Chain A
Amino acid sequence: MSQDPKVKIFTDRSYQLKKVRDFFYKKNILEVDTQALLKYPTIDFYIDSIKAYPSNKLHYLHTSPEYEMKKIISKGMRDIYYLGHVFRDKEKSKKHHFEFTMIEWYKSDITFEEFIKDNLKIIKLFIRFKKFEKVSYQTLFKSYLNFDCFDIRKEEFKKILKNENISLENFDFCSNEEILNLLFDYVIEKKCSKNVLYLVYDFPSNQAALAKTYIKNNIEVAFRFEFFFNGLELGNGFFELDDEKIQKERFLKILKVKKDLEIDSDFLNSLKNLGNLFGIAFGFDRLFMLKHNKKNIEDILFL
């Protein structure tokens, strides 16, 4: 009987999952198997939880294990990882799927440099890159689009979008932050060199999400970082915010727009015990797509 070509990919998926688990095992980082079905949704402007109704009670599938993992960390189990499925509503494309596999891990009392080194090792379990480059969010926009992303008026975007041949409808309803995201996806990801692994850092503070912020050259920036490779966003990391009050303020801003969400107070309470903590989440499937040189995520999923 001839073998379905996907069997080869599924077999390799098994090996890759083990390789990742071996990596963490050797570093004495423990796997946590958190609940996927939660009472509270993810609170994010741009990420929507999928709703589920066990026993007719509204629940949400986790969009990442972050809230649950931070609760565990606050209770004293400090260095942990999760390797499993997460769910995101409305996200479907060649690079997105409603259900995908995430590698998320946290390490306490580590320097940024050490944490990045560990993450390079994880990425190397999947791909080879010819060069590793660290570049700030601001520098990327300066070098590829020639403007300062921290000092730009909304009106100026009109010309920039036109130059890039992007016809953005309802411009007036897009925030500066959203237009920066758009330019990042449409222009910068494509202009970045091939086979170079990029680490982008120091995001605008309004994109901090769950990261700490700090002042750099008189500007508040988010201590947030992302890996990119050949036009794919691979992972997003934070120097984790441990200030309950600031986190609550950020959440309340989101709740003004997404009114039906409710905040998990246990999660907020856990933040004060986080200490110096770095965390990152990788899309396992994105890394795996690269390893198998596939352009469509469906080619590597059990579908």
Chain B
Amino acid sequence: MSDISTNDIKQGMKLEIENQPYLVISNEFVKPGKGQAFNRIRVKHLQSGRSIEKTYKSGEKLSLADVQEMRMRLLYLDQNEAVFMSDETFEQMHIPFTAIKETKKWLKDDIIYDIIFYKGEAIEILPPTFMDLKIVETNPGVRGDTASGRVLKPAILETGANISIPIFIEQGEIIKVDTRTAEYVSRSQS
């Protein structure tokens, strides 16, 4: 991949450091009036999310990570993998669940996901922030338990995610969920 000078590194860029992909959080230029300039660069590992700080002499070259993002539609789930397709190129991609990790519980046919590839390998699947999903399992709520409807009960969604829902929502209903926090938002509007 191409090189980039520490002076040109901006927040949001992806760097390859010690053969690992990182996202740039911040890049601070540090320089005394009459002395060497340094760049203090904070990066977050694209897979583990762990952030580290590195200091470079200004003007040093770093490698940009070969990271690409693609929007792909989930075609179907197989035993150990998910099959996605690009709506633009119709290219299909088999991605093992081991690479999908946490996002597996948000996989639903026909939904479009952002897939991040590092050196051609999928390393992260980002679901839409909000998803409309059916409740496949929950205990019946006793109506009139609370006036505020704030009391929650556990539920399982059609994708397998476990979340807490208000007591007045019933099995079979479709709800809107925030996938960042796995929290109930509302009854589905659509």
Q: Across the two chains, which residue of chain A brings its CB closest to B29?
A: A93
**Which residues in B have their C-beta under 8 angstroms from that of A94?**
28
Judging by beta carbons under 8 Å apart, are B52 and A236 in contact?
A: no
Q: Give the shortest distance, in Å, between A121 (CB) and chain B (any CB).
A: 21
Q: Decide if A178 is an interface residue (CB 8 Å cutoff).
A: yes
* Residues 56 to 78 of chain B near chain A (Cβ within 8 Å): 56-60
Q: Decide if B162 is an interface residue (CB 8 Å cutoff).
A: no
**Which residues in B have their C-beta under 8 angstroms from that of A90?**
7, 37, 58-59
* Residues 91 to 114 of chain A near chain B (Cβ within 8 Å): 91-94, 96
Judging by beta carbons under 8 Å apart, are B60 and A169 in contact?
A: yes
Judging by beta carbons under 8 Å apart, are B31 and A96 in contact?
A: yes
Q: How many residues of B contact A (CB 8 A)?
A: 22
Q: Across the two chains, which residue of chain A brings its CB closest to B55?
A: A168
Q: Give the shortest distance, in Å, between A247 (CB) and chain B (any CB).
A: 15
Q: How far is the CA of A40 from the CA of B43 in the complex (A)?
A: 40
Q: Give the shortest distance, in Å, between A255 (CB) and chain B (any CB).
A: 17
Q: Across the two chains, which residue of chain A brings its CB closest to B27?
A: A93
Q: Decide if B50 is an interface residue (CB 8 Å cutoff).
A: no
Q: How far is the CA of A91 from the CA of B33 in the complex (A)?
A: 10
Q: Across the two chains, which residue of chain A brings its CB closest to B32?
A: A181
Q: How far is the CA of A289 from the CA of B7 in the complex (A)?
A: 24
Interface centre among B30, B56, B58 (most CB of A within 10 A): B30
Q: How far is the CA of A21 from the CA of B128 in the complex (A)?
A: 60
Q: Decide if B34 is an interface residue (CB 8 Å cutoff).
A: yes
Judging by beta carbons under 8 Å apart, are B38 and A170 in contact?
A: no
Q: How many residues of A contact B (CB 8 A)?
A: 31
Judging by beta carbons under 8 Å apart, are A182 and B55 in contact?
A: yes
Q: How far is the CA of A93 from the CA of B28 in the complex (A)?
A: 7
**Which residues in A have their C-beta under 8 angstroms from that of B32?**
181, 184-185, 233
Q: How far is the CA of A174 from the CA of B59 in the complex (A)?
A: 13
Q: How far is the CA of A184 from the CA of B40 in the complex (A)?
A: 14
Q: Give the shortest distance, in Å, between B133 (CB) and chain A (any CB).
A: 43
Binary CB contact string for chain B from 1 to 30 against chain A (1 if under 8 A, 0 otherwise): 000000100000000000000000000111
User: Contact partner of A47 among B7, B34, B52, B53, CB < 8 A?
Assistant: B34
User: Contact partner of A169 among B7, B35, B55, CB < 8 A?
Assistant: B55
* Residues 252 to 297 of chain A near chain B (Cβ within 8 Å): 283
Q: Across the two chains, which residue of chain A brings its CB closest to B53?
A: A167
User: Contact partner of A167 among B7, B36, B55, B58, CB < 8 A?
Assistant: B55
Judging by beta carbons under 8 Å apart, are B30 and A186 in contact?
A: yes
Please list 15 pairs of residues, one from A and one from B, whose beta carbons are closer than 8 Å in the complex, sorted by A's number.
A44-B34, A90-B58, A93-B28, A96-B29, A165-B53, A166-B55, A169-B54, A169-B55, A174-B57, A181-B35, A181-B36, A182-B38, A184-B35, A207-B34, A236-B34
| Chain B interface residues toward A at CB < 8 A | 7, 28-38, 40, 52-60
